[in-house]
Structure 1
């Protein structure tokens, strides 16, 4: 394939990282009229389905990413897309191997790795302002843009199908969720990123007392079972079904998580609670109604990805009270 108006994007890593690429894909498609092939992990590829700007998704599994296997696979991809621009939105050894074998222009985004690690150690106010003011989608865009667009121009987009929307509507009707229910995501890949279960329970009691319907979403081996009535879809929905349900919800309450980005990508407002991580990392929702709650503590942020071993029993998250979250919910629902 030799097509100067077709670009290839490389982004592996976590689900949210891939969801965020859809914002720059949307922006570039409208600005330049180009189409895209996206290289990502097979677990993340569903969020790219039904996207009108993506003509192909190269889904990689573990066997594709072995050292020698990847060198061969990278060569095959480079040959297939000869003449197309490669936009590296991952900037790791694997993406650089692909870039070294690429037969065309290669553009790469700046991860600000040194600045992030320096901020984690120093908690410099100057670095905080610099990093927080440049969301990851803007850092992605800077791979090819001289003038960086506003974050509001790069909001992620997921396109549920009508069948997926119908499934979500059926679930809403079967569980009598009504038209103004909220979604709750009490899980986290890394335990120290999770808001404490007792806080979730207290929040749910407030929702029940005020007649606000809710549904739990997400996947986890340890299912959170709140006391009292519940609508719990934990580990029951496919990824795109979850997106369709989030699209129909009034808002999502979550920690720093993948579903936070899923909700943003279907234009559902998010209330996100950040603990060991920080807005400075750039992975925060930037929609007009999105809210990020953080506690001011000298030890924050303590982790780049949430893999900390907190010695303070997640005090940073415990200080975000159910009352504070409920107040934000009421404000948004008004």
Structure 2
């Protein structure tokens, strides 16, 4: 535990992270770390909506600066907002953010610290996969990661704090655990759909992703849900529960949800909120769910950041990139197809034209994992109820 020195002055920190939504959510691990430091901290976060709005809604105490990176006066505007900070953490790590940090150092003597996005390593994985093709299987180490991307962000922040914090505060800093988190005590009021979700169990489904190539085929999602429906009816524990389906995402994914439901005879309630919620409302909805079935997408990270375990379907990207689920009860599902990964961001069309990377995922494994998550939640909640019962002996 870090011990606060007496009369510590306010620490002013600038964070630059504009896109993408998933990366912005992962960057909230830095907020989690700063909240555990026994010193007053003022954060100015430079970004773009809608991702910036998500951070601002979860942490209203943060100064959120929304500036268009393509604006001609971008550097001047951001420099004006950051001119009083003690240092800047550059989590965007692109040419524009690096030039901005150079201006801050030159004009205001503000140091900056740049996170390693491991772009070279990811690019190397893609090159090797192109050469390997489907002649060989994917090495097992590519289906896991030893370095999560949010750990790289935290590493940068820890280094900056070691430079700028008083020496008496550094003891134990490397032991402080921080994770991506949108959990906040900020009360935004209860939404109508939150009242409905107070009853029964809920499985959230996010069928979308930033790129079409990263979206699991509708047929795979249908197969998973049909098998899950059958398993629930046959499970001695789950068949006694009312399990609802919550669909989240954008307007396009609303149509995917309807296609999935068209093949299902689901007995529980269904909430298709895809296209009806903003990002913050989506986070609040996911917080009420027991589990999330999703692709390698931003909502994977949103769900985990509000404490919800996921079953994530990885197709053209690989877990070794550093973006798989990090919660112990979560899991990524992928194939050992040798042509994975086919690009650094998963947006390149399948060169074989069949998206076999998704086709080889076994629905039965996904279903067993989803069942395990929900049953564990049931068991934990029953245990909590039993613990709170008064002892009548």
TM-score, normalising length: structure 1: 0.87
Q: Aligned with 1:305: secondary structure? A: coil
Between 292-301 and 278-287, the greater mean CA deviation after superposition: 278-287
Shift of 1:28: 2.4
Alignment-derived partner of residue 391 in structure 2: none
| Cα deviation 1:168-208 (Å, max 9, x = unaligned) | 422426xxxx3311100111221111111012122222343
CA distance in 1, matches of 2:227, 2:146: 34
Match of 1:155 among 180, 205, 223: 180
1:49 aligns with 2:56: yes
Structure 1 residue 27: Cα displacement: 0.9
Mark the structure with the bigger radius of gyration: 2
Q: 1:313 to 1:322 in 2, by over 3 A?
A: same
State the Cα RMSD in Å. Answer: 2.8
1:45-79 Cα shifts (integer Å, max 9, x gaps):
2221344584200012xxx322632233233234x
- Secondary structure at the residue paired with 1:213? strand
Q: 2:150 aligns with which of 121, 124, 137?
A: 137
1:267 pairs with 2:288: no
Name 1:58's counterpart in structure 2.
Answer: 65
Q: Is the 8 A contact 1:182 1:213 kept in 2?
A: yes
- Would the aligned equivalents of 1:252 and 1:270 in 2 still touch at CA under 8 Å? yes
Separation of aligned partners in 2, 1:276 and 1:246: 25
CA deviation map 1:214-266 (0-9, x unaligned): 11111142511121454311101222111111111001000001111110110
State how 1:1-334 maps to structure 2 within 5 Å: 5-31=11-37, 33=39, 34-52=41-59, 54-60=61-67, 64-66=68-70, 68-78=72-82, 81-102=83-104, 103=108, 104-122=110-128, 132-146=145-159, 153-159=178-184, 161-172=186-197, 178-209=199-230, 210=232, 212-221=243-252, 223-224=255-256, 225=258, 226-227=261-262, 228=264, 230-310=270-350, 311-334=352-375
Which one is further off, 203-212 or 133-142?
Answer: 203-212
Question: 1: CA distance between counterparts of 2:281 and 2:76?
Answer: 35
Q: Does the CA contact (< 8 Å) of 1:16 and 1:262 recur in 2?
A: yes
Identify the range of structure 1 (122-131 vs 265-274) with the bigger mean alpha-carbon deviation.
122-131
The structural deviation recorded for 1:83 is 4.3
Instruction: Report the more deviating stretch, 113-122 or 243-252.
Output: 113-122
On the 8 A contact 1:37/1:54 being kept in 2, the answer is no
